[in-house]
Amino acid sequence: MRLRVDNVTKEFGGVRAVSELSFTVEPGRVHSIIGPNGAGKTTLFNIITGVYTPTQGRIWLGDDDITALPPAARAARGIARTFQNLQIFFNMTALENVMVGRHLHAPRRILPSMFHMPGIKRANREARERAAELMRKVGLARFIGADADSMPYGALKRLEIARALATEPKILLLDEPAAGLNPKETLEIDELIQKIAQSGITVVLVEHNMKLVMGVSDHILVLDYGRRLAEGTAAEVRNNPDVIRAYLGVGAVAGAA
């Protein structure tokens, strides 16, 4: 399904984090959003997932205007995400974190839940199996029995991806999945993103690691101060004079990080 950001502006007390921004994410592709720190990338994710309401503009999913939908309803329509600042359920085990991702696909009525009807039993078993499978898929097999708060940083990043995948998203938003990872882990994330994309899920990627971005992206959007600076394929963006100027200027350090 096509995701369309239509003339979106977000202001925080007069400061524009995102400014009159429009772009389209075509289904089945890896669409990256890059830009220096403070360019509005995470704000954009928050607007797309419904955590923030835009000051102005609309978000379309296919033919539907989802601007007014709360985050949970957007998740139900197939938008999932990870977080730049980890948002792990530290009060649960790793496996349970991923099981929560099965929420939308499980029975959720109070009386059957309290009386532990067969449907609930089945749902628990299904969720546990799917979650374990996903954990293996993202390379967390050895953490299946672990508590979330005993896991290292790199593993938690992947745990968020597994949780997001458990919702069976059509569009997956990854917010700096490689930040803080060592080169080997970064390579694994690279492979994982490609694997996810191959499975037919649209990936929207915010990332500072240019090597990763240039390698996996079908399409790149460059933001600067909440505005679109450039857009196109990796090659087009790399040769865009505005981008070069922005990155060799104030953003150079962030871009290289």
Partner 1 sequence: MAEFLQFLLSGITVGAIYALVGLGFSIIYNASHVINFAQGEFVMLGGMGTVFLMAAGLPLIVAMPLAICVVVAVGLILEKLAVEPARDATVVTLIIITIGASIFIRGAVEVTLGKDFHRLPGFSGDEPILIGGAALQRQSLWIIGALIVVVAGLKWFFDHTRLGKAVLATSHNRIAAQLVGIEVRTILLVSFGLSAGLGALAGILTAPITLTKYDIGIMLGLKGFAAAILGGLGSGFGAVAGGIVLGVIEAMAAGYVSSAYKDAVAFVIILGVLFFMPSGLFGAKGAERV
Partner 2 sequence: MGDRAQKSLFDLSVARKVQGTAKHSPHAPLSATEAAPGGDGAVRTVGAWLFSARTGGVLLLAAIVAILPLFLPNKFYFDVAIKTALHAIVCVGLNLLIGYAGQISLGHAGFFALGGYASAILTARFGWPGLVAMLAGAVGVGVLAFLVARPILRLKGHYLAMATLGLGIIISIIINREIPLTGGPDGMSVPALWVGPWRLTGPITWYWISGVTLVLAVWLALNLVESPMGRALRALHGSEVAAETTGIDVTRYKVLVFVVSAVFASIAGSLFAHAERFMTPVEAGFLRSIEFVTMVVLGGMASIFGSVVGAAILTALPQVLAVFHDFKHLALGAILIAVMIFMPKGLVPTLAALWRRRVG
Q: Nearest distance from residue 228's CB to partner 2, in Å?
A: 25
The nearest distance, CB 42 to partner 1, in angstroms, is 7
CB 241, min distance to partner 2, A: 36
> Minimum Å distance from CB 2 to partner 1?
25
12 binds, among partner 2, partner 1, none (CB under 5 to 8 A by kind): partner 1
Q: How far is CA 150 from CA 1, 94, 132, in A?
A: 37, 9, 17
Applying CB under 8 A, the span of 15-23, 78-86, 129-137, 221-229 interacting with partner 1 comes to 78-86
Q: How far is CA 255 from CA 116, 126, 223, 230, in A?
A: 52, 42, 12, 15
Q: How far apart are CA 203 and CA 6, in angstroms?
A: 19
- How big is the chain by its Cα radius of gyration, in Å? 19
- Asked if residue 240 binds partner 1 (CB under 8 A), the reply is no
Question: Which of partner 2, partner 1, none sits in contact with 76, Cβ below 5 to 8 A by type?
Answer: partner 2
Q: Which among partner 2, partner 1, none contacts residue 129 (Cβ within 5 to 8 A by kind)?
A: partner 2
Q: Could you give the CA distance from residue 98 to residue 243 in angstroms, rounded to a whole number?
A: 38
Separation of alpha carbons 47 and 59, rounded Å: 8
How many residues belong to the chain? 257
Q: Closest separation between CB of residue 15 and partner 1, Å?
A: 12
- Using the rule CB under 8 A, give the single segment among 56-64, 77-85, 100-108, 140-148 that binds partner 1: 77-85
Place of tokens 């790793």: 94
Measured CA to CA, the distance from residue 80 to residue 161 in angstroms comes to 9
The site string for partner 1 over 21-60 (x = CB under 8 A, - otherwise) reads ---------------------x---x----x---------
Measured at the CA of 202, the angle between CA 124 and CA 212, to 5 degrees, comes to: 110
Q: How far apart are the first and last CA of the chain?
A: 33
Q: Does residue number 226 form part of the binding site for partner 1 (CB under 8 A)?
A: no
DSSP string, 169-227: -SEEEEESTTTT--HHHHHHHHHHHHHHHHTT-EEEEE-S-HHHHHHH-SEEEEEETTE
173 lines the binding site for partner 1 (CB under 8 A): no
Choices 80-88, 179-187, 216-224, 232-240 (CB under 8 A): range interacting with partner 1: 80-88
Write out the residues near partner 1 by the rule CB under 8 A. Answer: 12, 42, 46, 51, 83-85, 87
Write out the residues near partner 2 by the rule CB under 8 A. Answer: 49-51, 70-76, 79-81, 83, 85-93, 95-96, 99-104, 106-108, 110, 113-116, 120, 123-125, 127-129, 131-133, 144-145, 147, 149, 153, 160, 163-164, 167, 180
